[in-house]
Structure 1
Amino acid sequence: MATSRLFRISAAFFAATALLISGCSSGPSSTPGAAGPGRGEDADASGAGRAPKSALAPLPTAVPADLRQYYDQKLSWHACGVSGFECATMKAPLDYERPGAGGDLKLAVARKKATGPGKRIGSLMVNPGGPGGSAIDYLQQYAPEPAAVRARYDMVAMDPRGVARSAPVECLSDKEMDRFTQTDQTPDDAAEVTELANAYRKFAKGCEARSGKLLPHVSTVEAARDMDVLRAVLGDRKLYYVGASYGTFLGATYAGLYPSHVGRVVLDGAMDPSLGPRQVNIEQTAGFNTAFTAFAKDCVEHSDCPLGTKSAEDAGKRLSALFKKVDAHPLPTGEDRHLTESLATTGVIAAMYDEKAWPVLREYLAQAEKGDGRGLLTLSDSYYERDPDGHYANQMYANPAVNCLDLPPAYTSPDQVRADLPRFRKASPVFGDEFAWASLNCAYWPVKPTGAPERIEAKGAAPIVVVGTTRDPATPYAWAKGLADQLSSATLLTYEGDGHTAYGRGSSCIDKAVNTYLLDGTVPPKNKRCT
């Protein structure tokens, strides 16, 4: 089943994509055990979508005495992975409100030093999204580009707390995760609703059993505070940063907490931190519908389109019919797992992140129409980061751990989901039910949320560039406009096109604008639009 609020592209499948991004949306989070910086009474915890009046307040500029040991640490670098990369381990407090009381975390860091020519600008941190995407994996795969930026910056990545190499959240065995992903996420009767709710409960209990001590301390605010420690440890006065998808929320949170530390920050495929969880899920559902409509319009122009050649609307009906057929009779895949409706839907959703995957999706849908589920299962596995040996990466565990801490649950009972099904179906006739029931995933989480919707203004920050794609499925364009409107120093750069995020994905106009900003600090012209 597709994890609710996940913004992602699988690097394993879409290797040509510049920034790894992931699927689950998160909202602003506050520090565990405290009211949190700038947290107001009128924050929209209900999820109705009303923009909260409160704004994230900055932390004191002076480093507290009990955190000085972390800011003053020296990293021990060693060669690792791909040639030219160095790795190190950075220490951070488990609980920033009580440094040392709960022990420390060891956070994995990697870098590739600036190659020249030209004067080194600083360290450029990257985050590919998720939450749960490995920044180090991304860095080691894509650091060679763009060459002009790589020449002037040390390229740096840190796997956030709870992710990959940094005290990873663990939840289920691989076999248990296989069963979880096959659970019917469009229940047709009370028994299937109970089965789905029990699957969410088992998932949450597994996370508590394996990672209970860590779960209260993987919020986005804490990850942003880790970034400031790393900035200082690297010797940079300012943060230089490129974040994609959820990485935009992480970067915006950093800017809100440390506006005076902002250097050059790019937020690509932006999230709107002021939205409540229900509104986030509804709008993301509509975003995927927009992306599917674009795919369908393209598909019906091909004589071999497995969804017909009439119209995008008719293609949607035929895809829904295929899902129902697979729900009744899961398809063989050549292995022990069959392609269930949930896995089939996830496979289609995975291909919505990048229009380069559309020809592959046409091929795999044609296979499914003929009773062969192997292709769509491959897409689904790429989404879940399941390797050929059946092992799952940590992303699908870190993802809800962060999301369910950053925002209140969108729904707390199946009855609430049922009541809102018409809104989801209106947002997407094809994916509405799937996204609605996926929004129940935080209802049974073992740790109470510490965050709430909150505006991020980052008053006093240096200029920030926010990038939005007009037909982005996972982070709708309206979110980029919303974040750009909130951030006091933001400039919105628009890509008129398909797919999730824009930088490094084929638009020379976008790449030139972002690279110019990163290299000399010149922001794009107001209202600049690229194709």
Structure 2
Amino acid sequence: MHTRRTPRRTRTAAALIASAALLLAGCSSGTPTTSRAGSPVAGAAAALAPLPGSTPAALAPYYAQEPAWRDCGVPGFQCATVKAPLDYAEPSAGDVRLAVARKKATGPGKRLGSLLVNPGGPGGSAVGYLQMYAGIGYPAEVRARYDMVAVDPRGVARSEPVECLNGPAMDAYTRTDITPDDEKETEALVSAYRTFAEGCGAKKPELLRHVSTVETARDMDIVRAVLGDEKLTYVGASYGTLLGATYAGLFPERTGRLVLDGAMDPSLSARRLNLEQTEGFATAFTAFAEDCVRRGDCPLGGKGTSPEKAGENLTAFFEKLDARPMSAGDADGRELTESLATMGVIAAMYDEAAWQRLREALTSAMKESDGAGLLVLSDSYYERDAGGAYSNLMSANAAVNCLDLPPAFESPDDVRAALPDFEKASPVFGEGLAWAALNCAYWPVRATGEAQRIEAKGAAPIVVVGTTRDPATPYRWAKGLAAQLSSARLLTYDGDGHTAYGRGSACVDAAINTYLLKGTPPADGKRCS
């Protein structure tokens, strides 16, 4: 991958494992065309319009807040609560309370301000990410000069979380068959989606109408102001790139140093976005399969086995599970189903460091009929703990996606019509990922957003990072976003896994650190390996 490998900074928060695969729940609409450099850009999609430069009087009290920082139980970190209007169109209608955490700059050197971080999702806890990784794992020279700051987006984790189902109900939901073979199984899948949506709609119905990416980006501007920063400095990964790009589109003159790592393209249609992500997982699986068979102990085939044949072998294993789930030694009596096994494999596609673990889990399952390893990987994807409790990742993910943009599919018939394209994109994952995109069709709140180009004219240079074999945010999305943003600098990592910063490439890290510390962006088109 690169000539000198630095120690990998392992991201232990499960939200990072799941951050972008969950985007399949509900994506965007619009028709893509081609931009400069051949990247897909939706020519028919309108550009996101910036907000007025002055702060409306009704919002002035929010911008004038002084957060009361307190010890939050994690050494070195402080926490506070910041209020934002529930509805920006009617600020008097009530507030949402946002959880904010920070780790103050350690020095030496002049403090550069606050650096906000977001791990993606939507639904990943930024506060948890800061406390578990970014606040201690970011480069020391960056932590020395910046206060490291995170805010859980509205509806997420500590910020008035959206909750849809309890633990046992989520167990049932996650094992639902997502490759229905007949009408009865299709009805069961639709029923599961309806039950999930009804659970979300029964709690905090007003909040459910106000968890969009645009509203969260506006919340970030309030946080920027109460932190005392004139401009926003920000590193967002995966969905966090959409959040950061949206901020830049709304507030270009307040945009400082932005790093968008594992970029999303906001201009693509729902079907195109889902289809290209399916292709991304196929690309990642090919890389995994090639590595697996080369080692000689691969359960998907011996040396010389093609990735296509390895995929056929995995598909055959999934089909066996579809017919008869496998024991997984679970304390709650759960078995390994086809759907859980599929999510376990997908979870491991995010980081090549997990390939050995996946190889071992597949060996145990395929050769010893022990599904425990794949079930553990699946649980990490869904953020299920050993006691059977789930974080609100899945609930928040659906709530944001289904509000942001119209559903990818409106009915089972729509999915069936699209299956040939999805199965061509990925013979292993295509069918399941197509059906996974149906859930927003039953959401209790209509989408308020639409696909749009983001230009952010007038913004300072923005670094867009893409990884060539990223499974969840395909490289073409980084090219697409960079083609839209007027001040983008595209930084390419030729490698595997999801996102690039802090994952072992000295070249990527040096380019981003220089930008954050000195304000000097990498040359547009710079490549690292």
CA contact (8 A) 1:51 1:275 kept: no
Distance in 1 (CA, whole Å) between partners of 2:228 and 2:428 is 50
Aligned counterpart for 2:160 among listed residues 149, 159, 167: 167
- 2:342 aligns with 345
Instruction: Quote the residue 1:477 is aligned against.
Output: 475
CA contact (8 A) 2:83 2:96 kept: yes
2:289 aligned partner: 296
How far the C-alpha of 1:43 sits from its partner, in A, is 5.3
Give 1:123 deviation, angstroms: 0.2
Distance in structure 1 (CA, Å) of the matches to 2:10 and 2:430 = 23
- Any conservation in 2 of the 1:491–1:526 contact (CA below 8 Å)? yes
* TM-superposition CA deviations, 1:216-252 (whole Å, max 9, x none): 1000000000000000000000000000000000000
Indicate which of 223, 244, 249 corresponds to 2:242. Answer: 249
For 1:499 and 1:61, locate their aligned partners in 2 and report how far apart those are by CA, in whole Å. 39
* Residues 198-209 of structure 1 mapped to structure 2, 5 A cutoff: 198-209=191-202
Q: Do the aligned residues in 2 keep the contact of 1:181 with 1:342 (CA within 8 Å)?
A: yes
1:36 matched residue in structure 2:
none
Check if 1:276 corresponds to 2:269.
Answer: yes
Q: 2:98 aligns with which of 102, 107, 119?
A: 107
1:10–1:253 Cα change, 3 Å = farther
Secondary structure of the residue that 2:174 maps to in structure 1?
helix
TM-score by length of 1: 0.93
Matches within 5 A, 1:313-392: 313-335=308-330, 336-369=333-366, 370-392=368-390
- Cα distance in structure 1, aligned partners of 2:112 and 2:278: 40
Q: 1:120 is matched with which residue: 111, 127, 133?
A: 111
CA contact (8 A) 2:27 2:269 kept: no
Tell whether the 8 Å contact from 1:22 to 1:133 is kept in structure 2 after alignment.
Answer: no
Q: By how many angstroms is 1:29 displaced?
A: 10
Is the Cα–Cα contact under 8 Å of residues 123 and 153 in structure 1 kept in the other structure?
Answer: yes
Residues 405-426 of structure 1: CA deviation (Å, up to 9, x unaligned): 1110000000010000000001
Distance 2:19 2:106 in 1: 26
The alignment partner of 2:455 has SS state of coil
Q: Deviations over 1:118-162 (max 9, x none)?
A: 100110000000000000000011212210000000000000000
Q: Cα–Cα, structure 1 residues 50 and 256, in superposed 2: closer, same or farther, change >3 Å?
A: closer
CA contact (8 A) 2:253 2:459 kept: yes
Instruction: Say if 1:468 and 1:495, in contact at 8 Å, map to a contact too.
Output: yes
- d(CA) in 2 for partners of 1:485 and 1:240? 21
Contact 2:24–2:437 (CA<8 Å) still a contact in 1? no
* C-alpha displacement of 1:311: 1.4
* Residues 25 and 438 in structure 2, CA contact (< 8 A), matched pair in contact too: no
What CA RMSD, in Å, does the superposition of the two structures yield over aligned residues? 2.0
Amino acid at match of 1:79: D
Cα 1:219–1:447, aligned 2, differ >3 Å: closer, same or farther? same
Measured in 2, the distance between the counterparts of 1:306 and 1:284 equals: 26
How far is the alpha carbon of 1:203 from its aligned partner? 0.3
Check if 1:70 corresponds to 2:70. no
Does the alignment pair 1:58 with 2:53? no
Judge conservation of contact 2:45–2:451 (CA < 8 Å) in 1.
no
Secondary structure of the 1:386 match is coil
1:58–1:258 CA contact under 8 A, matched in 2? yes
More helix by share: 2
Q: 2:35: which partner in 1?
A: none
For the Cα contact (< 8 Å) 2:26–2:407, is it kept in 1? no
Give the 3 Å change call, closer, same or farther, for CA 157–218 of structure 1 in structure 2.
same
Q: Is the 8 A contact 1:29 1:452 kept in 2?
A: no
AA at the equivalent of 1:329: R
Does the 8 Å CA contact 2:201/2:444 hold for their aligned counterparts? yes
Is the 1:317–1:430 contact (alpha carbons within 8 Å) kept by the matching residues of 2? yes
> Deviation of residue 263 (structure 1)?
0.6
1:35 corresponding residue in structure 2: none
SS state of the match for residue 294, structure 2?
A: coil
Partner SS, residue 435 of structure 2: helix
Contact between 1:285 and 1:424, CA under 8 Å: does it hold in 2? yes
Following superposition, the deviation at residue 333 of structure 1 comes to: 1.0
Name the SS for the 1:443 alignment partner.
Answer: helix
Is there any run of 5+ residues in structure 2 with no aligned partner, and where? 1-8, 33-39
Distance (Å, rounded) in 2 between the aligned partners of 1:20 and 1:345: 13
1:157 to 130, 150, 162: 150
Distance 1:337 1:26 in 2: 25
Cα deviation 1:348-398 (Å, max 9, x = unaligned): 000000000000000000111121110000000000000000000011100
SS at match of 1:24: helix
Please say which of residues 256-265 and 519-528 is displaced more in the overlay.
519-528
The whole-number CA distance in structure 2 between the counterparts of 1:65 and 1:184 is 51
Count residues with an aligned counterpart.
Answer: 507
Residues 219-230 of structure 1 aligned to structure 2 (within 5 Å): 219-230=212-223
Retained in 1: the 8 A contact 2:25–2:440?
A: no
Deviations 1:170-194 (A, max 9, x none): 1001100000000000001110000
Aligned equivalents of 2:195, 2:26: Cα separation in 1: 26
